[in-house]
């Protein structure tokens, strides 16, 4: 019996002490077990057995915690890897899956975008509509408009209420800090709209400082007047038609806006004309599509490329210039 106990003691010791996966807890248990087998007194056996059981139970609990921690760590790591993989979602694919391109615009900026009744239905039409319909066609999706004030467009884009903004928007440096832009698809000059008979009133930019100036809120013209020229009291309204009425009623003396917009609106309102001046012309009005920057698990790279490919196709074919002429006719 003694020989069997000693043999068992030695076997247990050798097995655990040579096991490469053994740790400090297992080693402690092994030594306690070996100590138990060399006890000669029965009373000591009972006491030692109690201690051994307590030590064994503690070891099992610790090993269980370590195992759980390791399992959680592995699970966390796997989850992190899966999350990292999911972070490469393409915005273009999201749009294609939805089947709709949500477009933010401000349809009070003729000839770029404006409301017109077509076949008995009110629709948003204009130059930007021609362009965005081609962008959507190349993606294989339909266009869905979100019409809002111009100064709320970029906020809507950032909040994912729209996928893209086309609204005759100039990609200036301030805007580039918050959103990405497509290639420029149209370039236009700025002009001054005045009351008829006052076409020669403005000779230089300094002359604007002595006049009541009106601009559309949130535009590059507003930035030019307030920041470049330092005219802090300029009237800034959300819609061009409202500015035209202010000019007609004598509440403002001049409106600084894009040439294409001016040419359309002077035909719609009486006693209004484009001034004989190049003031504002030094700040070109360029148009580009605004797209939310990549982030939060969404990559816009292929989306921007798709938009740029369409723009290039339209410019190379001459359709871009044709669309502006068509928009001007629609706005008459």
pTM of the predicted protein model: 0.67
pLDDT, tens only, 173-214: 999 999 999 999 999 888 999 999 999 999 888 899 999 999
In residues, how long is the chain? Answer: 332
pLDDT, tens only, 5-25: 444 445 444 544 444 444 444
Q: Among 124, 179, 126, 123, which residue's Cα sits nearest to residue 156?
A: 179
pLDDT band of 83, cuts 50, 70, 90: very low
H or E segment at 103? strand 100-105
Q: Which two tokens stand for residue 162?
A: 């729209």
Give the mean pLDDT of 250-274: 93
DSSP state of 183: -
Residues 17-56 as b/e (b if ≥16 CB within 10 A, e otherwise) read eeeeeeeebbeebbebbeebbeeeeeeeeeebeeebeebe
CA dist 294 and 22 (Å) reads 49
User: Is the distance from CB of 33 to CB of 8 less than 8 angstroms?
Assistant: no
Query: What is the predicted pLDDT for the residue at 208?
Result: 94
Q: Among 62, 102, 281, 59, which residue's Cα sits nearest to residue 190?
A: 281
Residues 176-186 as b/e (b if ≥16 CB within 10 A, e otherwise) read eeebbbbeebb
Backbone phi, then psi, for 273, in 5-degree steps?
Answer: -150, 165
Query: What is the predicted pLDDT for the residue at 8?
Result: 43
Average model confidence (pLDDT) for the chain?
82
Which of residues 32 and 299 earns the better pLDDT score? 299
């Amino acid at each position: 019996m003694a020989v069997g106990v000693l043999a068992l003691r030695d076997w247990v010791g050798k097995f655990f002490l040579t096991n490469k996966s053994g740790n400090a807890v297992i080693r402690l248990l092994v030594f306690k077990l070996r100590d138990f087998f060399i006890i000669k007194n029965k009373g000591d056996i009972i006491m030692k057995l109690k201690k051994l059981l307590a030590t064994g139970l503690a070891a099992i609990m610790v090993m269980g915690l370590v195992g759980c921690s390791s399992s959680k760590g592995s699970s966390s790591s796997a989850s992190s890897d899966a999350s990292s993989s999911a972070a490469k979602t393409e915005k273009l694919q999201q749009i294609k899956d939805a089947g709709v391109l949500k477009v933010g615009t401000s349809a009070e900026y003729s000839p770029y975008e404006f409301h017109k009744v077509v076949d008995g239905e009110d629709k948003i039409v204009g130059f930007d509509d021609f362009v965005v319909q081609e962008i959507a066609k190349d993606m294989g999706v339909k266009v869905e408009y979100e019409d809002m004030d111009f100064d709320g467009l970029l906020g809507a884009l950032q909040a994912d209420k729209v996928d893209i903004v086309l609204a005759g928007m100039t990609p200036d440096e301030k805007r580039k800090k918050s959103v990405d832009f497509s290639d420029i698809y149209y370039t236009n000059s700025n002009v001054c709209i005045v009351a008829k008979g006052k076409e020669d009133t403005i000779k230089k930019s300094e002359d604007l400082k002595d006049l009541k100036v009106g601009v559309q809120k949130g535009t590059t013209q507003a930035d030019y007047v307030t920041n470049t020229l330092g005219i802090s009291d300029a009237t800034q309204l959300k819609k061009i038609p409202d500015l035209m009425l202010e000019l007609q009623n004598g509440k403002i003396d001049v409106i600084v806006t894009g040439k294409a917009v001016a040419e359309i609106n002077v035909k719609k309102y009486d006693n209004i004309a484009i001034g004989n001046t190049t003031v504002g012309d030094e700040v070109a009005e360029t148009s580009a599509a605004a797209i939310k920057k990549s982030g939060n698990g969404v990559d816009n790279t292929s989306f921007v490329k798709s938009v740029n490919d369409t723009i290039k196709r339209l410019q190379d074919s001459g359709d871009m210039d044709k669309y502006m002429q068509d928009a001007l006719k629609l706005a008459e």
